Amino acid sequence: MLVADAALAVELSLDRLGEQADSALGGEELVAPCLLWSEVPSVLSEMAFRGEISRDLATQALERFLTGEIHVAERRHVELTMTAWRIASELGWAKTYDAEYLAMRGFSILASSRSTCACAAAPTGSGSWSRHPS
């Protein structure tokens, strides 16, 4: 068993290692804490934001990661991650961490009979988002 960090997961998601990945990992099972599913989208978004990779490649890598093509034990709700990805993109943020909090708030609002608050939004990305204060 090998513990995967965001750097390894990003490389595997971008498929830069290709067929060498399996031999380099020696067939070991990859495991990661739940935080990995927040870190990988954020790293990919930052890479696209800085122009290191295209937005399309970043999206493809994210989808590859989320669909389980990279076999890492432990999963999280895919829709939350994709919603945070869209929010960060819409607001021009490099990182998805803060957007994940907005997305979580949106899901929470939907689950609690659509209450209202300053950051209320539906997970479809149709909500009204405000710019990051910093």
Cα separations (Å) of 105 from 97, 111, 124? 13, 10, 13
End-to-end CA distance of the chain: 40
Task: Supply angle C-alpha 83, 86, 89, rounded to 5.
Answer: 150
Task: Write the pLDDT tens digit of every residue in 85-131.
Answer: 999 999 999 988 788 878 877 766 555 533 333 333 333 344 444 44
What are the residue boundaries of the structural domains of the chain, listed by start?
Answer: 2-76
Our measurement of the distance from residue 116's CA atom to the centroid of its chain's CA atoms, rounded to an integer in Å, reads 26
Strands (DSSP E) contained in 41-94 are: 72-73
Is pTM beyond 0.95? Reply is no
Split at pLDDT 50, 70, 90, the class of 57 is very high
pLDDT for res 12: 92
Choice between 124 and 26, residue whose per-residue pLDDT is larger: 26
Can you spell out the DSSP letters for 90-116? HHT-S-SHHHHHHHHHHHHHHHTTT--
